Chains A and B, each alone.
Chain A
């Protein structure tokens, strides 16, 4: 049996059951194009009247968008009434296909899942051949929301009594993901709020520093952080109740007293120096790395089973349950993220530190965790000395050995101290949740002060005043390049080339044979600066091939669109998007006309030169 249905058979089956028009979602652009090719010699031709109707409709779109006239797919579209629609195509082609579909001329469109979002493109049937999609270089399972967006294209209001979502298997399919997706509730959405440099500059331009915390508090991020904090507050209330029997005794704070006494007694002989070697960041984490906590390690995630100290190890150690039921021991320093997610379980004193039932349950829960988890914001406080020598020296001065409450304290200590630790942990978490955005804002402020965009009094400096107008990705790198005069006197084509390499965030390979020495040396400079800024801003891909492509388009006004496409292996649609995004970046730089007239002029020049041919024809 073939790994998946042949496109010709698929269309035949759909037509036969009157399930057209259909959108067939395929895994890749390549798959869409290859599916179209299989119709080259198929005898699925439409009756002449329908062929004619398609030709007429295409003519009409062509008058507005002449660039589609030569499109290689046109013969098949006309003859068979099917088309391909994906991000590798020019917008004009996509518009044409959408128009044909809306007018009911097509029986099927092969598309990638990018079509699922937003575009008004309904059909009677959608065909689903995959259960995962490529997201930032890797394949991830479709979410319930995504499956429903895809399936949602089926069934046109006013044109269909029912819509059909048809699953057909391929090696990429996990049927369960799809059945869950079709029958489930869409996921809750989480805030993705981040604080960028331009956001800080623009906020401080319009509002005094002391108002900012209030503005950040209006974010959905803070709303959700508050929700989590409120949950913890409820837990805290419950803990207060549980703490009641452990109130003041002979000493008011008997728990601390007993703790210190007990600790000193035990460690009188085996005192280790190691405690102090932990950095404040690590120490601040320790209270959170308790059994049941979900953490991110170098590769993948895990659930903490216990925390312990081991002789000869500089740091505290963790026993962690990893995804494949593996149990690993690692120092706390190898924890990359502490997530705001814990599982309650009863600890046991021996390996694997919990019961087998619990172990299985935790393994399962670990597998089922959503891909994205909220990170616990942890505040680092300095100067937490664990236990001073003085206390140990004065062990004889403790009242405990002779105290009348000693048996009771000894008995209750374990429970009481665990409860109190939990209280402290929750209190810290709540505090962190309430103030984490503000802390992140302050971190950004410090960087901007260091670079001189903000004064020590958090006023915008002269540079800050113009830098706040650059509100795109890699803004710090762009403003630093401008300050370093990297673009001064540069040709519009070089300027656009560099901005193109900053604007292009796709790693889909492309090839371009030659890059000019001028652009090459400028890119070298940009790369150096980007590296030096990497502690403050993620460096861009800075692909030389896309830079060279845009440089050529601007430097040579006689170059045609076809000529440009021949220079690279990039798809037409990608080249178009590259140029459009470069235009966006250029227009941001153009906004600096009052402070950097020379640069702005060069930018306007580049903008005028980019807008020609296909780029002028299209919106």
Chain B
């Protein structure tokens, strides 16, 4: 392949493919627009052209293998995609089977007010909490706060104190306001690195670091924190366990959490909540209950908005086709392809 041919072939690829090609070759390739990316790729590969060409081929084959739905690993000759008047017009996946924009936009609106009924998973978590520690892993916006509030209420009715931690000071402050409104200001206190209010209240909100410090102080027996009356520890956003810098604080907190207090871990959806639950079971005195689901309460639809203002569904299906990332809507595919083609001349990095 001559440099020109290679350049042309590169220019015909979607930018996503170029980025894949650039991984490990071009530093900060995500900052580059398409044309610059091609320049950089060619520059970088002046020593190892063969490597670039074969990688490119593999990626192109991979794309075709995917769209052929067959996973034959046979190598093909370079495929030169020519600009078509109506790109992908002849593709087998024509628009008939794909959802239309009007259907996609249907049903949008405000539901009529409903009386509050706890979801089954919320009730399940609350009743499990009477017996054991609980790990909740559900999608964003499902209603974890309700479980936290009810659990805190029950513990306080039992004359036990409650600690609620969050990773962010801003979130702690929001919860302080929210919980003060629910339980009354005299019942709620806050301790963060630079703020201390109502530190003797039965429901204390703090950052996880502060709780970790309290637990260390209590372990060395020097301060009087009312850990003996502590009935419940709620760790919100516990997916922070995986934070490279701060994750260790969640582990320390859980390891040193007093035995008589129940632990309630609230987490967004993560891949292995059962590991967290099994871990808790292995180090605490009761069998930890895992409450998880991945279904969003408000269904989600995905769309694609073209820079010219044209809107289309992103996937062929009305909802998100879980497990099938390549079920793109033909119109979205066409527009995105067009975008990549057309931004080519102007595709310089914006920053």
**Do A and B truly interact?**
yes
* Set of chain A residues within 8 Å of B58, measured between Cβ atoms: 360, 363-364
B325-A587 in contact (CB<8A) = no
Expressed in whole angstroms, the Cα–Cα distance for A157 and B139 within the complex equals 12
B173-A619 in contact (CB<8A) = yes
B139-A166 in contact (CB<8A) = no
Closest A residue to B109 by CB, please name it.
A161
B267 to chain A, nearest CB (A): 9
Any A CB within 8 A of the CB of B193: yes
Closest A residue to B328 by CB, please name it.
A179
Q: Which of B122-130, B154-162, B226-234, B314-322 contacts A (4 or more CB under 8 A)?
A: B314-322
Tell me which of B33, B170, B311, B339 contacts A1 (CB under 8 A): B339
Expressed in whole angstroms, the Cα–Cα distance for A47 and B139 within the complex equals 36
Tell me which of A13, A189, A193 contacts B272 (CB under 8 A): A189
Interface string of A142-174 (1 = CB under 8 A from B): 000100110111111111111111111101111
B141-A119 in contact (CB<8A) = no
Tell me which of B16, B268, B314, B328 contacts A145 (CB under 8 A): B268
Any B CB within 8 A of the CB of A182: yes
Expressed in whole angstroms, the Cα–Cα distance for A160 and B28 within the complex equals 39
A214 to chain B, nearest CB (A): 10
* Set of chain B residues within 8 Å of A187, measured between Cβ atoms: 270-271
Given contacts A155-B141, A175-B16, A185-B271, contact A160 B54 (CB under 8 A): no
Tell me which of A6, A10, A322, A587 contacts B193 (CB under 8 A): A587
A169-B307 in contact (CB<8A) = yes
Any A CB within 8 A of the CB of B243: yes
* Set of chain B residues within 8 Å of A169, measured between Cβ atoms: 306-307, 336, 339
A166-B302 in contact (CB<8A) = yes
Any A CB within 8 A of the CB of B184: no
Any A CB within 8 A of the CB of B70: no
- Chain A facing B: main interface SS: loop
A74 to chain B, nearest CB (A): 21
Tell me which of B255, B269, B298, B304 contacts A163 (CB under 8 A): B298
Expressed in whole angstroms, the Cα–Cα distance for A205 and B145 within the complex equals 36
B272-A188 in contact (CB<8A) = yes
Any A CB within 8 A of the CB of B187: no
Any A CB within 8 A of the CB of B251: yes
Tell me which of A5, A196, A325 contacts B51 (CB under 8 A): A325
A3 to chain B, nearest CB (A): 6
* Set of chain B residues within 8 Å of A189, measured between Cβ atoms: 239, 241-242, 270-272, 276
Q: Which of A220-228, A402-410, A420-428 contacts B (4 or more CB under 8 A)?
A: A220-228
Any A CB within 8 A of the CB of B131: no
Any A CB within 8 A of the CB of B73: yes
Tell me which of A165, A323, A324 contacts B302 (CB under 8 A): A165
A155-B298 in contact (CB<8A) = yes
**Interface size (B, Cβ < 8 Å)?**
117
A183 to chain B, nearest CB (A): 5
Any A CB within 8 A of the CB of B24: yes
A145-B166 in contact (CB<8A) = no
* Set of chain A residues within 8 Å of B7, measured between Cβ atoms: none
B24-A174 in contact (CB<8A) = no
A221-B300 in contact (CB<8A) = no
Any B CB within 8 A of the CB of A562: no
Expressed in whole angstroms, the Cα–Cα distance for A176 and B32 within the complex equals 17
Within 8 A of B (CB), among A196-222: 196, 199, 202, 205-207, 215, 218-221
Closest A residue to B28 by CB, please name it.
A139
B170 to chain A, nearest CB (A): 6
Any B CB within 8 A of the CB of A42: no
Within 8 A of A (CB), among B98-125: 105, 107-111, 113-114
B174-A120 in contact (CB<8A) = yes
Given contacts A162-B299, A196-B248, contact A179 B314 (CB under 8 A): yes
Within 8 A of A (CB), among B312-351: 314-315, 320-328, 336, 339, 342-343, 346-347, 349-351
Tell me which of B24, B248, B254, B279 contacts A194 (CB under 8 A): B248
Query: Which residues of A does B touch, CB under 8 Å?
Result: 1-6, 9-10, 12-13, 17-19, 28, 91, 94, 98, 117-120, 122, 124, 127, 131-132, 138-139, 145, 148-149, 151-169, 171-177, 179-180, 182-194, 196, 199, 202, 205-207, 215, 218-221, 223-224, 227, 300, 322-326, 357, 360, 363-364, 367, 468, 471, 580-581, 583-584, 587, 619
Sample (6) of A-B pairs whose CB atoms are under 8 Å apart: A13-B311, A152-B141, A154-B300, A161-B111, A162-B298, A189-B270
